[in-house]
């Protein structure tokens, strides 16, 4: 499938949290990607029989909920959907108490929430693995699916360039971390004031020193897509930012991915988007529904790569 060299990683994930890809080595990330590719070939594997995943949702979801729930069932386990309205957490119970209680009932927790500190606190007090399904700072499961998709499309990470156009948000952070971890060059083009978090970028640059990747930030989308193999976008207004929508629409004027911008990338470049998409804003329908788009392959890969992660964390 790829020219990426993979060394067997013996059960190094068992019982571990997945809060950010910064906590994983390059070899561990590659192992998960290749395991996800194998999962896609053989989707029904009852290796988690009797295991239960608690899924806490404080943010709405389509892909995260369905992919984790379906994934647990395909692995022979079960998943419990828990909205913030369903839990005492939504009525003031502490994160620490919630973590300790759930640790006595289930085998792992996946949480989709706002502040990243909440996931860190949950992991600190839980005696079972915690998986970050999304926070305002990181989206590691999406980045794993992105890496799997890029490998399927381009067959290798070496010499592959990713151009992300838009907001320096959680998706951008995790994508840039993922690229740095596997030695893949990446550039983000963003308006002034909407770049990645400086502290996150410092961590990314530390990874780049180890892997030889180049991760840079610019303000010119046309510059970013030059020679790009992958052009990536996300919504300009994320959940929780709805009051900023009009301001953001004005700030991101000129950052839309359209056929003209795609023409600046390589002729065989592919378009990715974590979804949901706002056609006519960050991307035109012509691009996202066109022949270069791989967004639905990318969305499907959430299922396969998360199953690989669940299998490694819960079965070893």
Residues at the annotated binding site?
61-64, 88, 112, 139-142, 170, 234, 238-239, 274-275, 302
165 inside domain:
yes
Number of compact structural domains in the chain: 2
Same domain, 98 and 146: no
DSSP codes, 33-81:
HHHHHHHHHS----TTTT-EEEEEESS--SHHHHHHHHHHHHTT-EEEE
DSSP SS3 for 94 = coil
Q: For each of the chain's 316 residues, which pLDDT tens digit applies? A: 345 544 455 558 889 999 999 999 999 999 999 999 999 999 999 999 999 999 999 998 999 999 999 999 999 999 999 997 888 876 788 999 999 999 999 999 999 999 999 999 999 999 999 999 999 999 999 999 999 999 999 999 999 999 999 999 999 999 999 999 999 999 999 999 999 999 999 999 999 999 999 999 999 999 999 999 999 999 999 877 888 899 999 999 999 999 999 999 999 999 999 999 999 999 999 999 999 999 999 999 999 999 999 999 999 7
310 inside domain:
no
pLDDT of residue 241: 80
Same domain, 159 and 102: no
- The position carrying tokens 């990243």 is 116
Can you give the residue range of the structural domain that contains 187? 141-298
Q: What is the pTM of this model?
A: 0.95
Nearest to 54 by CA among 129, 124, 144, 115: 129
Are 97 and 74 in contact by the 8 Å Cβ rule? The answer is no
9 inside domain:
no
Same domain, 146 and 186: yes
Same domain, 206 and 279: yes
Same domain, 129 and 150: no
Are 18 and 313 in contact by the 8 Å Cβ rule? The answer is yes
CA separation for the pair 22, 191 (Å, rounded): 26
CA separation for the pair 111, 118 (Å, rounded): 9
- In this structure, the number of other CB atoms found within 10 A of the CB of residue 100 comes to 13
Same domain, 153 and 131: no
Are 109 and 81 in contact by the 8 Å Cβ rule? The answer is no
CA separation for the pair 250, 226 (Å, rounded): 24
Among the three residues 136, 157, 184, which one is the final residue of a domain in this structure?
136
222 inside domain:
yes
Q: Which two tokens stand for residue 251?
A: 């700030």
CA separation for the pair 237, 228 (Å, rounded): 25
CATH code, domain with 77: 3.40.50.1370
Q: Which of the residues are catalytic?
A: 112, 139, 142, 234, 274, 302
Q: Where does the chain show beta strands of DSSP type E?
A: 52-57, 78-83, 108-112, 130-134, 161-165, 185-189, 215-218, 230-233, 270-273
Residues at the annotated binding site for L-ornithine?
170, 234, 238-239
270 inside domain:
yes
Same domain, 168 and 129: no
In what order do the strands lie in the sheet containing 185-189?
A: 215-218, 185-189, 161-165, 230-233, 270-273
Residues at the annotated binding site for carbamoyl phosphate?
61-64, 88, 112, 139-142, 274-275, 302
Same domain, 149 and 254: yes
Nearest to 84 by CA among 44, 54, 62, 46: 54
Same domain, 131 and 150: no
246 inside domain:
yes
Q: Which two tokens stand for residue 53?
A: 């995943």
C-alpha distance from residue 309 to each of 99, 108, 148, 206, 254 (Å) = 21, 12, 12, 25, 38
8 inside domain:
no
Are 269 and 228 in contact by the 8 Å Cβ rule? The answer is yes
């Amino acid at each position: 499938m790829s020219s990426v060299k993979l060394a067997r990683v013996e059960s190094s994930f068992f019982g571990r949290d997945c809060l950010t890809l910064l906590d994983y080595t390059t070899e561990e990330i590659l192992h998960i990607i290749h395991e996800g590719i194998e999962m896609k070939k053989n989707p029904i594997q009852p290796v988690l029989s009797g295991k239960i995943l608690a899924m806490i949702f404080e943010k709405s979801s389509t892909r995260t909920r369905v992919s984790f729930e379906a994934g647990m069932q395909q692995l022979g386990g079960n998943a419990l959907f828990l909205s913030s309205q369903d839990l005492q957490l939504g009525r003031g119970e502490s994160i620490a108490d919630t973590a300790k209680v759930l640790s006595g009932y289930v085998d792992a927790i996946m949480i989709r929430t706002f502040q990243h500190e909440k996931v860190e606190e949950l992991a600190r007090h839980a005696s079972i693995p915690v998986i970050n399904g999304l926070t305002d700072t990181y989206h590691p499961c999406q980045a794993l699916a992105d890496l799997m998709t890029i490998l399927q499309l381009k067959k290798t990470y070496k010499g592959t360039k990713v151009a992300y156009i838009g907001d320096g948000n959680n998706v951008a952070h995790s994508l840039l971390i993922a690229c740095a971890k596997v030695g893949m060059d990446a550039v983000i083009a963003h308006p002034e004031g909407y770049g990645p978090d400086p502290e996150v970028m410092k961590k990314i640059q530390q990874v780049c020193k180890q892997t030889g990747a180049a991760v840079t930030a610019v303000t010119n989308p046309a510059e970013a897509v030059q020679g790009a193999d992958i052009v990536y976008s996300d919504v300009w207004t994320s959940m929780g930012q709805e009051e900023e929508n009009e301001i953001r629409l004005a700030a991101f004027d000129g950052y839309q991915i359209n056929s003209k911008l795609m023409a600046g990338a390589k002729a065989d470049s592919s378009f990715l988007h974590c979804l949901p998409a706002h056609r006519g804003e960050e991307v035109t329908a012509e691009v996202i529904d066109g022949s270069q788009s791989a967004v639905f392959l990318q969305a499907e890969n959430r299922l396969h790569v998360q199953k690989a992660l669940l299998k490694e964390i819960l079965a070893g």
